[in-house]
Structure formats: structure tokens, C-alpha cells
């Protein structure tokens, strides 16, 4: 057994990042993922540096362990082929608006009619039973509406987190939801529809820290965890760089005060308990910042390790790619792509002792597996061209 989802077939009708990342996670865990694309292909094929057209870096980073099947779903023959394919599948995934799925004839009623045991999972911006159900949603929009952009802006104007963080978080939620639905099917024998609304997922994600008095139905008394909101919460400048550190428990704070040679602060009424430290967080972080400037980053890291205070350095992107720890663990993998040559990909971060995931297939060229998949479904070569709407490789 090469992965916990070995033997599961996934039909992946997704584009951009959220859906493709979710289906890649399923593929990494052993599932057979068939990526269904239009004749033009996933737009992500065009974003970033590329050695060949349609095989850009962004696409390569979220589409490994997949096969590519081109179907022009505006054609009746292609819709019929999609239903024939769905009848062989365990999971159907998309990230389009509900109206679009219905117009293409691939909504849950249509797919479950040919495969009652299927797990039909999809993500969109808002709940399917809301007035916003058909609004378009992208990462920037959800960062704004979920409160994340305002939080990230601090006391200044709203600012997006410099990554598609909502897409990536929702991708992991979508993938884990599929796995849970498959587990339920093992228990009940029944398939079901699973919907991941980005707005709710990101609102719940952000409010873990910041619901605060809202937990008691009293938001007027204040929302937001003060320690997270203080402008003084940032990596500390040292004499030659930066260091990250965090103490949470009383024991850790006593150790930190000892590390900066101010053990007396453990008994200071401003800082002696969690409640007092929270109430005086700006003053506490300002004090720490003053001490951190007195030694180098290397000195502080060695000293903080000695006192068992959680700490780390600050990597920029080049530093992350060169990080010795990640190279020690084999996080970056070199693979040979049949058309793109040598590529670097990231390892599967989660390990399973009995059924590990694997890197089996490189990101596919557009339509690379169309002929083989349609032949498996019983179509002749002449029928394939009418179904795919593209020249067969």
C-alpha cells in the first residue's frame, strides 16, 4: 500500500490554487487524480516562469500526481463522457460557482445520479444557501471580507497577506473534508455532497484568536487578542539581525527573564501572571526589544536554547530555500520531468508509518492522458476528438 488513499479515483474539475492544491494533496496520499481541463487549460499554466508554454511554475507547484484529460464541457458529447467517467469515480471535486456547475450539467444531482456513492466536494466563496451564493470570490476578496486584510494592516490601512492564504487554507480544509466523507462512506456505504465556503472557513480561522468578548455575546466590550494586535509583536532586532521568540507559560517567562539577566521581572506585578502580562503587553514587548539589541542573533539563539525558550531565526525566501534544516530532512526534491527537464518540488510534509504518500506523477502536460482515459471508457479515436475539442497528443 503506497498511500492512505490508494485505490480512490478523484475527478478534479478545478482551476487556480484552492481546488488544484486540494486535489494534489489527495494525489500525494495515493489517490488517482484525473484533472479535467478545457481545451485552453487551467489558467495557472500561464503564471510564472516557464521553459515551455502552458507549463509555468505556479501550475507545476500545485498539480503533481495528476493526469490531464481535456473535455470541452460545452459539447454534449463531452458532458456524456464526463458522466461516464464520474460513474467510475469515488470523488468529484470542483471550485466553480453553483450556477456554473448546473449549466455544465455537473452539479451534485447529475453526478450522484450516475454514482450514488460518490463524494461530491466543492468550494466557493459563500454558502450555497445564502444570498451571496453566486458571487465570484478570489483570495483577495475573502481576505478583505473575513477581516484578515484589516488585521494584517494593524493600525494602518488594510493590507493583504502576501500569499493566497485563503485559497491555501481552504484547500487543506477541502482535502480533509473529502477524507472525512470517504471515512463516513466506509461506515455507511453512502456518498454525500460536501461544500467548503471560503468566507465561513476564513472567518472561523481568524476568530479563533480574536472573538474575545464576543465569545460571551458582548462584542461591544472588545474584540481581538491584545498580544496578537500590538504593533510591538514582531521579530526582535538584535545587534546584527533578528530573532523570533515566544514565551507563553509562567515557566517559560521565568526562563526568558533569566536569559536576559532580569530574573526579578518574574515577580514584577506587571508581568508575574498571564493576565498581568496580557494587560501590559506593549510595555513587556518594548522592554524585551531593548534587551535583544544588546547581543547578536547567534548569541541570543544559543542563550535562549540554553534556557529552553522557544526561538528561531528569520528567513527571507532565498534563506528558506537554502535552510539547512529543510535540506537535512530532504524537504526539497529534485525530479525529472519528461518535457520540462529537472524540477524542484517540495516533499509531502505529513508522514504515515504504514501507508506513506508518494510523488508518482509529474505535473501533466495539457491533455497528456486524454486518449488513454477515453479509451478506458470505451471511446474510439474518432469519438475522442469530438469529445475533447482539442488535438489529441
Q: What is the DSSP annotation of 145-208?
A: HTTHHHHHHTTSS----SS-HHHHHHHHHHHHHHHHHHHHHHHHS--EEEEEEHHHHHHHHHHH
234-249 pLDDT, tens digit each: 999 999 999 999 999 9
Per-residue model confidence (pLDDT) at position 393:
66
Per-residue model confidence (pLDDT) at position 388:
81
What is the rounded (10 degree) CA torsion for 289, 290, 295, 299? -40
- The answer to whether residues 192 and 181 touch, using CB atoms and an 8 Å cutoff, is yes
Per-residue model confidence (pLDDT) at position 385:
82
Per-residue model confidence (pLDDT) at position 363:
98
389: three-class secondary structure by DSSP: coil
- The answer to whether residues 228 and 209 touch, using CB atoms and an 8 Å cutoff, is yes
The Cα 271–Cα 269 span in angstroms is 6
Per-residue model confidence (pLDDT) at position 3:
94
In this prediction, residue 229 has a pLDDT band, given cuts at 50, 70 and 90, of very high
- The answer to whether residues 14 and 39 touch, using CB atoms and an 8 Å cutoff, is no
11-43 pLDDT, tens digit each: 999 999 999 999 999 999 999 999 999 999 999
Per-residue model confidence (pLDDT) at position 1:
55
Per-residue model confidence (pLDDT) at position 26:
98
- Residue 237 DSSP label: E
Largest pairwise CA distance in the chain:
83
Per-residue model confidence (pLDDT) at position 242:
98
Beta bridge partners of 171: none
In this prediction, residue 386 has a pLDDT band, given cuts at 50, 70 and 90, of confident
135-174 pLDDT, tens digit each: 999 999 999 999 999 999 998 999 999 999 999 999 999 9
165-223 pLDDT, tens digit each: 999 999 999 999 999 999 999 999 999 999 999 999 999 999 999 999 999 999 999 99
Beta bridge partners of 91: 10, 119
**Hunting for cell 456518498 — which residue is that?**
191
330: three-class secondary structure by DSSP: coil
85-135 pLDDT, tens digit each: 999 999 999 999 999 999 999 999 999 999 999 999 999 999 999 999 999
247-263 pLDDT, tens digit each: 999 999 999 999 999 99
CB atoms within 10 A of CB 144: 14
Q: What is the DSSP annotation of 12-35?
A: EE--TTHHHHHHHHHHHTT-EEEE
Average pLDDT, the chain: 96
Amino acid at each position: 500500500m503506497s498511500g492512505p488513499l490508494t485505490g480512490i479515483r478523484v475527478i478534479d474539475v478545478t482551476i487556480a490554487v484552492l481546488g488544484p492544491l486540494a486535489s494534489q494533496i489527495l494525489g500525494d496520499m495515493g489517490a488517482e487524480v484525473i484533472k479535467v481541463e478545457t481545451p485552453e487549460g487551467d489558467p495557472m499554466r500561464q503564471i510564472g516562469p516557464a521553459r515551455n508554454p502552458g507549463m509555468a511554475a505556479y501550475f507545476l507547484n500545485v498539480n503533481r500526481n495528476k493526469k490531464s484529460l481535456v473535455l470541452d464541457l460545452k459539447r454534449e458529447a463531452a458532458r456524456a463522457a464526463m458522466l461516464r467517467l464520474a460513474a467510475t469515480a469515488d470523488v468529484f471535486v470542483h471550485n466553480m460557482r453553483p450556477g456554473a456547475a448546473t449549466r455544465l450539467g455537473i452539479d451534485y444531482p447529475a453526478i450522484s445520479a450516475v454514482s450514488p456513492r460518490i463524494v461530491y466536494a466543492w468550494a466557493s466563496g459563500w454558502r450555497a444557501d445564502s444570498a451571496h451564493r453566486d458571487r465570484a470570490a478570489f483570495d483577495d476578496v475573502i481576505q478583505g471580507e473575513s477581516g484578515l486584510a484589516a488585521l494584517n494592516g494593524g493600525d494602518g490601512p488594510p493590507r493583504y497577506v502576501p500569499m493566497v492564504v485563503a485559497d491555501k487554507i481552504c484547500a487543506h480544509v477541502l482535502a480533509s473534508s473529502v477524507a472525512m466523507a470517504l471515512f463516513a462512506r466506509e461506515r455507511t456505504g453512502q456518498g454525500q455532497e460536501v461544500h467548503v465556503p471560503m468566507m465561513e472557513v476564513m472567518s472561523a480561522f481568524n476568530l479563533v484568536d480574536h472573538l474575545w468578548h464576543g465569545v460571551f455575546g458582548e462584542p461591544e466590550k472588545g474584540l481581538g487578542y491584545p498580544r496578537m494586535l500590538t504593533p510591538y509583536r514582531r521579530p526582535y532586532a538584535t545587534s546584527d539581525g533578528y530573532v523570533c521568540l515566544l514565551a507563553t507559560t509562567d515557566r517559560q517567562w521565568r526562563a526568558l527573564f533569566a536569559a536576559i539577566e532580569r530574573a526579578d521581572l518574574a515577580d514584577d506585578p506587571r508581568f508575574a501572571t498571564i493576565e498581568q502580562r496580557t494587560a501590559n503587553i506593549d510595555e513587556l514587548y518594548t522592554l524585551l526589544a531593548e534587551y535583544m539589541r544588546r547581543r547578536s542573533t547567534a548569541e541570543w539563539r544559543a542563550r535562549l536554547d540554553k534556557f529552553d525558550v522557544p526561538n528561531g531565526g528569520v528567513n527571507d525566501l532565498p534563506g528558506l530555500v537554502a535552510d539547512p534544516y529543510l535540506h537535512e530532512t530532504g524537504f526539497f526534491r529534485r525530479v525529472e520531468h519528461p518535457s520540462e527537464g529537472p524540477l524542484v518540488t517540495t516533499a509531502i510534509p505529513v508522514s504515515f508509518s504504514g501507508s506513506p504518500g508518494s510523488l508518482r506523477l509529474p505535473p501533466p502536460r495539457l491533455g497528456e492522458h486524454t486518449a488513454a482515459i477515453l479509451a478506458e471508457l470505451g471511446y474510439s479515436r474518432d469519438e475522442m476528438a469530438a469529445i475533447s475539442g482539442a488535438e489529441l497528443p
